[in-house]
């Protein structure tokens, strides 16, 4: 299980790097002004129907309170930040723990 978490973490970190490169490329092409693409905008560009389906599913199964303050807050964050935080967290969960030796006198 730890191996799977580490692999998912690495993949999410790679996605974060790709999203950061996309934002940096847009920034350079736009004359140097820093461009930050929110995750919701990028999701809407790639697959708009899945965003609508996800919103409907979350509102029906979990409640509207989860979508409005929490999910919209995540979707308004930059894509590379969201994937980076998730990637680091999953990689941290999947790391091997050090054995601690306890000596009792």
Q: Tell me the residue length of the chain.
A: 105
Residues 6 and 24 in one domain: yes
Residue 33: its pLDDT value, please? 84
73, 83: one domain: no
CA of 84: how far to CAs of 77, 89, 97, in Å? 11, 8, 22
**For position 96, what pLDDT does the model report?**
84
Q: What are the pLDDT tens digits along the chain (105 aa)?
A: 889 999 999 999 999 999 999 999 988 887 878 889 999 999 999 999 999 999 999 999 988 888 888 999 999 999 999 999 999 999 999 988 888 888 886
Q: What 3-state class would DSSP assign to 38?
A: strand
* Cβ 25 vs Cβ 67: under 8 Å: no
Same-domain check for residues 33 and 83: yes
Whether residue 1 is found in the same domain as residue 33? yes
Q: In this predicted structure, what is the pLDDT of residue 102?
A: 86
Find the farthest-apart pair of alpha carbons in the chain and give their distance in angstroms, rounded. Answer: 68
Domain count, the chain: 2
* pLDDT of the residue at 104: 82
Within 10 A of 85 (CB to CB), how many other CB atoms are there?
14
Same domain, 70 and 84: no
Residues 52 and 27 in one domain: no
Q: Is residue 50 helix, strand or coil?
A: helix
Residue 100 located in a structural domain = no
Range of the domain at 62: 38-77
In this structure, the answer to whether residues 54 and 66 fall within a common structural domain is yes
Q: Are residues 25 and 45 in the same domain?
A: no
Q: pTM (2 decimals)?
A: 0.81
């Amino acid at each position: 299980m730890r191996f799977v978490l580490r692999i998912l973490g690495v993949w999410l970190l790679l996605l974060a790097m790709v999203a950061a490169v996309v934002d940096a490329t847009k920034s350079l092409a736009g004359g140097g002004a820093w461009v930050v693409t929110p995750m919701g905008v990028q999701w809407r560009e790639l697959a708009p129907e899945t965003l609508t389906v996800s919103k409907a599913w979350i509102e029906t199964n979990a409640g509207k309170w989860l979508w409005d303050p929490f999910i919209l807050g995540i979707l308004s964050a930059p894509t590379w930040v969201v994937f980076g935080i998730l990637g680091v967290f999953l990689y941290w969960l999947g790391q091997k723990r050090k054995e601690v030796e306890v000596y009792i006198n």
